[in-house]
A = this chain, B = another copy of it.
C-alpha cells in the first residue's frame, strides 16, 4: 500500500462551512487526464487492474452515505448487473430525467436539477460523506468548491483525446498531497486533500 491510508483522514475532518457533508472524488484517468474516450469508451481502462484494497475504493464506499452522479454515469450504472449503491442515498444531477415520483421515475434515486439543489438536498438529509462521480459533475463540484478529497488512479496510457477529468475553474485550487504510490498493473494512485 502506498503511503498512509488516505481514508483514515476522512472521519477526523469537520464538515466544511455551510454543509453537513464532505465531497470525495475517486476516479481513474489516463496520464494525459482523460476519464473516457470521446465516445464514452472505457475499455482502455478496464484492461488494467489492481486489488480493491490497494485502490481504496471499497474502503471509501463503506464510509460513503450519499452519492452524487450525473445522468451519463447513472445510465452507465443502469447497465451493470446489480445496483452498486444499495443502502446509500443517490442523487442524479439531470435537467431531463423524470423525478422519482413522476411516471418513469426511478425510486432508488433523487433527481436534482442543479448543483445548488444537490447541496441543499444533501444538507437537508444530513449527509456526511458524499461520493461524487462523473465527468461533468466532478468538474462542476470542483468549480463550486464542493470537493474535500480527490483520489486519482493514473492509468499508464496516453489517449490524446477524450472526456477530460478536469475543466475550467474560477480560481486555482491548492492541493495537499496525502499519499502517492504504484498499485496493481503499473497504476499510480495519487490522493489529495483540497486546501482552503
Contact = CB atoms under 8 A, between A and B. Distances in A.
A23 interface: no
Interface residues of A, number: 39
A31 B158 CA distance: 15
The complex is assembled from copies of this chain, and their number is: 2
A146 interface: no
Contacts of A106: none
Given A33-B32, A160-B169, A160-B172, A3 B182 contact: yes
B176 A168 contact: no
Contact of A33 (B33, B142, B175, B187): B33
Contacts of A160: 143, 166-173
Interface stretch (A54-62, A112-120, A149-157): A149-157
Interface in A35-80: 44
A85 interface: no
A27 interface: no
Nearest to A3: B182
A156 B142 contact: no
A177 B190 CA distance: 14
A7 interface: no
A158 B187 contact: no
Nearest to A175: B156
Contacts of A20: none
Nearest to A152: B31
Nearest to A161: B168
Given A156-B175, A160-B168, A175-B31, A188 B180 contact: yes
A145 B157 CA distance: 14
Interface of A: 2-3, 31-33, 44, 142-143, 150, 152, 154, 156-161, 165-177, 179-182, 186-188, 190, 192
